[in-house]
Amino acid sequence: MNPSTIVNQMLIQVVAAYWWVFPLFILLAFLKSPFMKGALGEFQVNLAAKFFLDKHLYTLFKNVTLRTEDGTTQIDHVIVSRFGVFVIETKNMKGWIFGSVQQKTWTQKIYRHTTKFQNPLHQNYKHTKTLQDALVIDSEKVFSVVVFVGDSTFKTAMPDNVVYTGGYIRFIKSKVQIVLSESEVQEICSNIQSGRLKPSIRTHLDHVQHVKTIVEKKSNFHDNSCPKCGMPMVLRTA
């Protein structure tokens, strides 16, 4: 028996004995993917709303995708009540979180590894503004909320509307002044349901592609922009 035949038989025996390792590896990779992390984060927010918010007073909408002038915007959760409309952005992150209201980017730090990400308050502003314009509702009746799930810790002072999972329920319940009539709540719920794009995998994938296109355009703009003024630079030959 030649060496190659022996090696092949050994490989076959190893695969037969440990075949389960391969699907397990694929499953673990899937669970750690950004899509799954986002889905798990949104599930926690959904669960908290289901158990701690009275469904007769609060109506929850999940994954609301709305058309905008330049494409689409996707809102993780919208909660409608007589106390206002709450637009919720979910972040499933771990580590230390640094940021302020004014900063364009916030910082995530895990041991010595540092990552920058878009200020979620700025990100949710577009969601809030789009929904507000679609519903034709006063800005005082729409509240932006950013919820961090996962093993993260704020290392800078955060505004009241940037909270952990349990904190977003307290923030919503802290709004006790009635700002919408029962008929207005019903009309808003009806408009959200009729105005949103149909929730589906295709809708999600189209929105993801739209976001990627925007990110690429911004990246190309910054690659060719002046580091001092931010204006596009022109390549010249001396």
Residue type, 234: V
List pLDDT tens digits, range 58-101.
999 999 999 888 788 899 999 999 999 999 999 999 999 999 99
Cα 147 to Cα 162: distance, rounded to the nearest angstrom: 6
Domain boundaries, the chain: 39-219
List pLDDT tens digits, range 142-200.
999 999 998 899 999 999 999 998 799 999 999 999 999 999 999 999 999 999 988 65
Q: What is the mean pLDDT of the chain?
A: 80
Region 204-227 average pLDDT: 50
Task: Give the pLDDT of residue 191.
Answer: 94
CB 124 within 8 A of CB 89: yes
Q: Quick check: 134 pLDDT over 60?
A: yes
Q: Quick check: 208 pLDDT over 50?
A: no
Residue type, 180: L
Task: Give the pLDDT of residue 205.
Answer: 52
Strands 95-98 and 84-92: unpaired
Q: Quick check: 17 pLDDT over 90?
A: no
CB 114 within 8 A of CB 97: no
Q: Quick check: 206 pLDDT over 80?
A: no
The tokens of 128 are what? 């809030």
Q: Quick check: 219 pLDDT over 90?
A: no
Region 108-126 average pLDDT: 94
Beta bridge partners of 184: none
Beta bridge partners of 146: 89, 162
pTM over 0.75: no
Task: Give the pLDDT of residue 211.
Answer: 44
Residue 23 pLDDT class (50, 70, 90 cuts): low
Higher pLDDT, 31 or 120: 120
3-state secondary structure of 74: strand
CB 94 within 8 A of CB 150: yes
Q: Quick check: 33 pLDDT over 60?
A: no
Task: Give the pLDDT of residue 7.
Answer: 58
